[in-house]
Amino acid sequence: MSLQPDSTPDTDTGTFNNQEHPKTNNLFKESFLRILKSKTSVIGLCIIIILLLTALLAPLIATHSPTDQSIVNRYQPPSVDHWLGTDELGRDIFSRIVFGTRISIQIGVIAVGISMIVGVTLGSIAGYFGRWIDMIIMRVIDIMLAFPSVLLAIALVTILGPSLRNAMIAVGIVGVPQFARLVRSSVLSVKETEYIEASKAIGARNLRTLFGHILPNCLAPIIVQMTLGIGTAILDAAGLSFLGLGAQPPTPEWGAMLSDGRAALQNAPWVVAFPGVAIFLFVLGFNLFGDGLRDALDPKLKD
């Protein structure tokens, strides 16, 4: 996708007077219509909307408190009183899944936010300035990529200490290389265009050229990576919680619920099945929407 405006240099201010092409005004409208034409992206968007509404209306949707215990009702199968059954402490699984939606969205947004901020900064600096700066940054990125993401996240959480906050930080750091490499390649491509050369020729500062002209034209792949990265972040955080390194009891986090219920997998499979389905739907929704968004923002796929 190109957001390049028909620009003329302003020699007094060292900036561009943007004269947008008519197609630029309809860019986001066209992308939105392309998303609506894709059945998979619409399904993903519907799942995301349902998840967001569930998180927003959790106190109204939940039938019980997510932390109230009732030992006499432990391992109750799905029923009218407990729609998805109860766990080993008699807590209502449906209510815990509903409130767990808030935590999962929080994990996805914060973890991907960390990955994006750090990754975009490193990738843009490496791609724009090049030479020894590029070499140092990309060698660090290569070292991070040499470790399996799960093992690197486990190592970071072990150093920081097991908690939901530290798990989000670890997952965010693990996702930095994907953003850094993506942005670097985009910056390398955009900075060779004529309007960037013109910006440099009239004396525009490096930071203004980079953040004012180059990065805005790299937004499409960044947005797509953010969408797809949320699903990956949820899986990584759930894995850490499953190992006891993420959310701590009694936090209703889906990965922790899987870990708590694995001992009763044969006798009470619903304790594990429903949190697993919740994780599956969450990741599926963001992946489907991310795929549709990628297709909509890719100019090569336009009809």
Poorest-confidence range of 8-17, 49-58, 104-113, 143-152? 8-17
Q: What is the percent of the chain with per-residue pLDDT over 70, rounded to a whole number?
A: 87
Under 8 Å between Cβ of 82 and 73: yes
Whether residue 227 is predicted with pLDDT greater than 80 in this model: the reply is yes
| Contacts (Cβ under 8 Å, ≥6 apart) of 236 | 111, 149, 150, 153, 171, 174
pLDDT tens per residue across span 244-302: 898 888 889 999 999 888 888 888 999 999 999 999 999 999 999 888 887 777 655 55
pLDDT tens per residue across span 143-181: 999 988 889 999 999 999 999 999 999 999 999 999 999
Residue type, 101: T
- Domain ranges for the chain, please list them: 27-301
Q: What is the percent of the chain with per-residue pLDDT over 90, rounded to a whole number?
A: 50
Calpha distance 151→173 (Å, rounded): 12
* pTM assigned to the model: 0.82
Poorest-confidence range of 73-87, 184-198, 218-232? 184-198
Under 8 Å between Cβ of 227 and 286: yes
Under 8 Å between Cβ of 95 and 63: yes
Under 8 Å between Cβ of 66 and 101: no
Put residue 232 in one of left, alpha, beta given phi > 0 → left and psi -120 to 50 → alpha: alpha
Instruction: List b or e across 182-214, with b for residues whose CB sees 16 or more CB atoms inside 10 angstroms.
Output: bbbebbbebbeeebbeebeeeebeeeebbeebb
Calpha distance 217→184 (Å, rounded): 13
Pick the CATH number of 27-301 from 3.90.550.10, 1.10.3720.10, 3.90.79.10, 3.20.20.70: 1.10.3720.10
Residue 21 pLDDT grade (very low, low, confident, very high; cuts 50, 70, 90): very low
